[in-house]
Amino acid sequence: MLEFLGQSAPLFIAVVFAFALLIGSFLNVVIYRLPIMMEREWREQCEELNKTPPLQDMPTDRFDLIVPRSQCASCGQAINAWQNIPVISYLLLSGKCANCKKSISARYPFVEMLTAVLAALSAWRFGASYEAMMAILMTFALVSISVIDADTQLIPDSIVLPLMWIGLLMSLFHPISGSETLFIAPRDAIVGAIAGYLSLWTVYQLFKLVTGKEGMGYGDFKLLAALGAWLGWQQLPMIILMSALVGAIVGIGMMVFRNHDRSVPIPFGPYLAAAGWFTMLWGDNVRNAYLDLML
């Protein structure tokens, strides 16, 4: 299949774009349901530990990424197949529920389009190859992590830990197809995972020691560890600098223009994810350009 699609780059990118639109629709389900599933599991564990009766507001019906069917958040009407076509259905319905006419959040088509565009860029960057397939997989995971963290300030272990293990597993296939970006050497992947985790963990501990407050969550450590496993320890400084710079600019902007309360934490995961995705595609080019400029 890759050999066939590799004969036409535009065809490969178009196929990836269409496929990623469908995955983006599923990611909306993941983004909405996974935090609820996590909360239900935590509450069940607390009830079991404390031997208390279940809370009345906790539903007992099956609730996961498959069941129940997608439905309108306002009226509960089940969403039909033709109403669930990525982006197109939103436009045909004018952004409103077909049953109750309440507005549908524009974030749903935004996530679908964002996923498709980023996946298409990954396909364009790596061509029809296994590297492209892995880069697209990374894109799907980073989109989910970013939106969930922005919503809940949580980075699910069920996404970030498999991502890290996949990165370490990929290193066993180095070198492959001459790639130096994704299929890195095992030593670089292992050191990258360790250094990624410990770097932010150290910053966290120092900040807590000085201020008595927690500056970030453990999910951020795990995410940077996953990025280190995928891209190698050599790319970590670029990821940290880019994410810190963008995060600082956005944070200052929110405090100046939106009167954001300084005591309210700003999730760092989306900035790490964006920096990691950019580095995955163009990190080597940026680093080489910088070295050429300095030398």
Average pLDDT, the chain: 87
Q: What is the average per-residue pLDDT within 88-111? A: 89
Look at residue 254 and tell me whether its pLDDT is greater than 50: yes
Look at residue 19 and tell me whether its pLDDT is greater than 80: yes
CA nearest to 236, candidates 198, 180, 270, 206: 198
| Residues 6+ positions from 53 with CB-CB distance below 8 Å | 47
Instruction: Please answer whether residues 174 and 291 qualify as being in contact, where contact means their C-beta atoms are separated by less than 8 angstroms.
Output: no
Q: In Å, how far are 20, 41, 213 from 158, measured between CA atoms? A: 21, 13, 27
Would you state the pLDDT for residue 60? 65
Residue 103 backbone dihedrals phi, psi, to 5 degrees: -65, 140
d(CA 242, CA 146): 16
DSSP sequence for 193-261: HHHHHHHHHHHHHHHHHHHSS--S-HHHHHHHHHHHHHH-GGGHHHHHHHHHHHHHHHHHHHHHHS---
Would you state the pLDDT for residue 214? 80
Would you state the pLDDT for residue 228? 97
Query: CA angle, corner 193, sides to 191 and 194, nearest 5?
Result: 65
Instruction: Please answer whether residues 100 and 75 qualify as being in contact, where contact means their C-beta atoms are separated by less than 8 angstroms.
Output: yes
Instruction: Please answer whether residues 196 and 227 qualify as being in contact, where contact means their C-beta atoms are separated by less than 8 angstroms.
Output: yes
Exposure pattern of 98-108 as b/e (b: 16+ CB <10 Å)?
Answer: beeeeebeeeb
User: Model's pTM, two decimal places?
Assistant: 0.89
The conformation of residue 98, written as its DSSP 8-state character, comes to T
What letter represents residue 278's amino acid? Answer: F
Instruction: Please answer whether residues 272 and 243 qualify as being in contact, where contact means their C-beta atoms are separated by less than 8 angstroms.
Output: yes
d(CA 203, CA 45): 31
Look at residue 68 and tell me whether its pLDDT is greater than 90: no
Would you state the pLDDT for residue 251? 76
Q: What is the average per-residue pLDDT within 195-211? A: 93
Digit-coded pLDDT (tens) for 205-247: 998 899 888 878 899 999 999 999 999 999 999 999 999 998 8
Would you state the pLDDT for residue 179? 45
What confidence category does residue 248 fall into, taking pLDDT thresholds of 50, 70 and 90?
A: confident
Would you state the pLDDT for residue 178? 46
Q: Residue 14 CB: number of other CB atoms within 10 A?
A: 14
